[in-house]
């Protein structure tokens, strides 16, 4: 079951609320900054552009940017789609949260797939599938359930049954520490699911089962 998570940032001085915001993008940036321990870098003397860099995992060097671009091309080729389509659907990046999902692609998935059965996909299954494939293409190792939840947060969704979603996805395998890996025997299935999401076309996937 998936629920829409209400994201809110609240700044307090003791028990006094100084400011609050329900901006999902700002929420994600603050989460990343806290996890990276760079809160002090977000002070009043920090420029807006630098704060944005910190929130996105830090500025990338030209070499890192070129390497990331090459990984996106590789990822798109594996899916059999153009780079523009893939970037529009999930915006792959070498920095957290690594993917930004397109809500229209999500809505198309929900409208074209059933709620139950072999071609029904939980939020965690979808996010983990995209993330494991992207990590493999970019050489980033294995993603975790927490990182997949961060990807879902980009469209204000939280999966409260994350572990179950992984267990029911035969193309994914759970590892200690919350890590997620692809099942080599089911890699083609994972690629088909990712392609369906990015292209907004689930006919091939739903007809295959």
Which strand (E) or helix (H) includes residue 157? Answer: strand 157-159
Residues of the domain holding 7: 2-55
Say if 61 falls within a structural domain.
no
- Is the domain of 35 the same as that of 120? no
Residue 50 near residue 33 (C-beta atoms within 8 A): no
What pLDDT is recorded for position 14?
A: 65
Q: Which residue has the higher pLDDT, 152 or 205?
A: 152
Entry pTM: 0.68
Say if 60 falls within a structural domain.
no
pLDDT digits (tens, 9 = 90+) for 24-67: 767 676 776 665 554 443 443 443 433 344 344 444 444 444 45
Residue 10 near residue 20 (C-beta atoms within 8 A): yes
Which strand (E) or helix (H) includes residue 10? Answer: strand 9-13
- Bridge partner residues of 21 (DSSP): 9
- Is the domain of 74 the same as that of 157? yes
- Is the domain of 44 the same as that of 78? no
Q: 19-50 b/e with 16+ CB inside 10 Å = b?
A: eeeeebeebbbbbbbeeeebeeebeeeeeeee
Residue 161 near residue 1 (C-beta atoms within 8 A): yes
- Is the domain of 44 the same as that of 85? no
- Is the domain of 19 the same as that of 111? no
Q: Which residue has the higher pLDDT, 2 or 112?
A: 112
pLDDT digits (tens, 9 = 90+) for 113-134: 888 777 789 999 999 999 999 9
**Mean pLDDT of the region 72-77:** 94
C-alpha 159/C-alpha 168 separation (Å) is: 14
């Amino acid at each position: 079951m998936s629920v829409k998570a209400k994201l809110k940032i609240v700044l307090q001085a003791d028990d006094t609320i100084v400011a609050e915001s329900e901006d999902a993008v700002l929420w994600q940036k603050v989460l990343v900054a806290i996890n990276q321990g760079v809160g002090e870098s977000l002070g009043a003397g920090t420029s807006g552009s630098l704060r944005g860099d910190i929130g996105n995992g830090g500025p990338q060097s030209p070499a890192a940017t070129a390497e990331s671009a090459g990984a996106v091309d590789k990822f798109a080729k594996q899916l059999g789609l153009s780079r523009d389509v893939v970037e529009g659907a999930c915006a792959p990046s070498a920095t957290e949260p690594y993917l930004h999902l397109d809500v229209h692609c999500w809505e198309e998935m929900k409208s074209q797939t059933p709620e139950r059965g072999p071609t029904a996909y939980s939020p965690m299954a979808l996010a983990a599938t995209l993330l494991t494939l992207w990590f493999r293409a970019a050489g980033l190792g294995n993603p975790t359930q927490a990182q997949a939840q961060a990807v879902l947060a980009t469209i204000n969704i939280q999966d409260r049954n994350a572990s179950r979603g992984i267990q029911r996805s035969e193309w994914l395998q759970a590892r200690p520490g919350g890590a997620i890996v692809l099942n080599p025997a089911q890699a083609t299935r994972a690629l088909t699911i990712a392609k369906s999401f990015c292209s907004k076309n689930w006919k091939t996937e739903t007809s295959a089962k």
